[in-house]
Structure formats: C-alpha cells, structure tokens
Amino acid sequence: MTELIFQAIYSGLLQGGSYALIALGLALVFGTMKVINLAHGELVLLAAYIAYAVESAFNVSPIVAIPVALVVVCISALLVYLLVDRIKKDRELNSLILTYGIGVMITNAILLIWKADIRSTKSAWLQDAVVLGPFYSMRSELGFFILSLVLMGLLWWWLSKSWYGRAVRAVASNRDAAKLMGINPRTTEIVSFVVAGILAAFAGVALYSYGVIQPPLGHALTVKAFIITVLAGVGSIPGVLAGALLLGVVEALTVTLLSSALQEIAGMGLFLLVLFVMPNGLFGTAARRG
C-alpha cells in the first residue's frame, strides 16, 4: 500500500510539471493584461491534437510536432489577444465571456476535425518504462518533467534579466509607472500572450506524449491552471510550480486511493480548502497584494 502511495506521489509530481507550464501562461497574461484567458486550456489541447495529427499523418514521434505546435498555438494566442484587445468597455468582465466563447469554439473545432475519440501516442519509445530507484514512470513523463523545469528556468532568466521580461513584470506591477519608464504596455501584452503560447505548446505536446487526450480536456486544463494560480497566491515561478506539484499529487493520490472519477473533484476540494484556510494562497501574504 505504501508503495502505491509513493508511486502515486511520484507520478503526481511529474504531472505537475506540465500543469505548472500551463498555469504560468495564464498568470503571465493575467499579470500584464488583467485578463483571465478562459481559452488557455484549449490552446494547450490544440497543441496536443497537433502532436496527434503530426504523429498519425507522418508516422513520426509527437516530439517532432513541437515546432508546428509552437507556430499554431502562438498564432492562435495572438488571435485571442487581438479579439480581447477589441473590448473597450468593462474588459475584466467581458473578456471572461469572450475567452470562454473562444474556448468553446476551439473545442468544437477539435471535435469537428479530430472527432470525440480518446487519443494517445503510439510511440513505444516514449512509453518505455524508466525506473528510478523504487519509482516507475514512462520515459515521456520524466523527459517532459525535466524539460518543463528547464523551460521554467529559462522563463525565470527571461523575466529577471532581459529588458522585455522586466517590462512584463513592471506592467504587471504598476501599469502607469511602467508607462513613465518608456514602456508601451501593449507590446508587453503581446509578448506575454506569445510566451504563454510557447509554454502551452510544450505542455500540450507533453500531455499527448504521456497521457490520453479528448476534446473536453481543454476546459478541465483551464480550471486546473486557475486553481493553481489561486493556490500559489503570487505570480512567482516557484509559487506556481509548488501549487502545480501539489495539485498533481492530490489528483494522483485521489485516483490511487479512491477513484479516477473523483480526480477533478479532488482539485476543486483542494482549491476550496486553501481558499477557506489560506485566502491569500500558499505563498501570498496579505500585505503583498494590492
């Protein structure tokens, strides 16, 4: 039994890597534009289906699809930006309705093109077992987990050391003050959508490489990303990573100990628990907000 629990924790942690990439994209866009992109999970799912399409059309590894997914998802993210940018009144509320609608449209487009069947990779190489001491995982799980850590390291470097990255943080922190520094907030909004798209593309290909995908997954991913950002409380990379790992572990434990039918409920339960017990998130302090 304890072996099962430890194995579940390990699998949950690996799953958390992709969750973190998804949640960071959501947080980045929210930071600069104060818009919650409810179509974000659908962008991730789009990347996953592109991996499926490339794999089945050319009989290659889904990893080969990463460049295609990057291009398609970044263009789609920019289209979402252009639409949200057209909203002139009550953007915070109206953007929720708009992005929700875009998400529904993406899901339906996926249904039309790729049907409702459950899909998963045929690559045996990706599904090969990798044993690390007492822990077991698929090669793709461990590989994409490491890749997600590398991407987060790069994101951290970009946000703290590059001028564009600093501008993104400045706009998120104080929009008017950022303008006084000579920063055009619209540029940083576009940049944050593109970076969110890059992270979403990697996460989507990862999900397809070690799991199963189907059209309703996009919506579930948006909800997870939202839960993680609230769990983290602050938009910091370590905070979001910790929130993502926690969600991954709680989901995996629920599936192992209770039932896979309860997986989504478990995330919600965790979310409500943190909201009631620590309303500022796991890492947010009351003073730092506002």
Interacting residue ranges for other proteins, rule: CB under 8 A: 160, 163, 166-167, 169-170, 173-174, 176-184, 234, 287-288
C-beta of 240: minimal distance to other proteins in Å?
14
Tokens of 38: 């409810």
Q: What is the DSSP letter of 123?
A: -
Nearer to other proteins (CB atom), residue 45 or residue 190: 190
Nearer to other proteins (CB atom), residue 74 or residue 178: 178
C-beta of 180: minimal distance to other proteins in Å?
5
Spatial neighbors of 88 by CB under 8 A, at least 6 apart, are none
Q: Which of 169, 288, 226 is nearest to 44 (CA)?
A: 226
C-beta of 284: minimal distance to other proteins in Å?
11
Nearer to other proteins (CB atom), residue 184 or residue 260: 184
Tokens of 10: 């390990």
Nearer to other proteins (CB atom), residue 167 or residue 274: 167
Tokens of 43: 């962008």
C-beta of 281: minimal distance to other proteins in Å?
14
Concatenate the DSSP letters of all residues of 149-196 into one string. HHHHHHHHHHHHHSHHHHHHHHHHH-HHHHHHTT--HHHHHHHHHHHH
Q: How many CB atoms lie within 10 A of CB 74?
A: 19
Concatenate the DSSP letters of all residues of 201-242 into one string. HHHHHHHHHHSEE-TTHHHHHHHHHHHHHHHH-S--HHHHHH
Nearer to other proteins (CB atom), residue 29 or residue 178: 178
Bridge-based pairing state of the strands 129-132 and 119-120: unpaired
Nearer to other proteins (CB atom), residue 117 or residue 176: 176
Which helix (H) or strand (E) segment is 119 a member of? strand 119-120
C-beta of 235: minimal distance to other proteins in Å?
9
C-beta of 234: minimal distance to other proteins in Å?
8
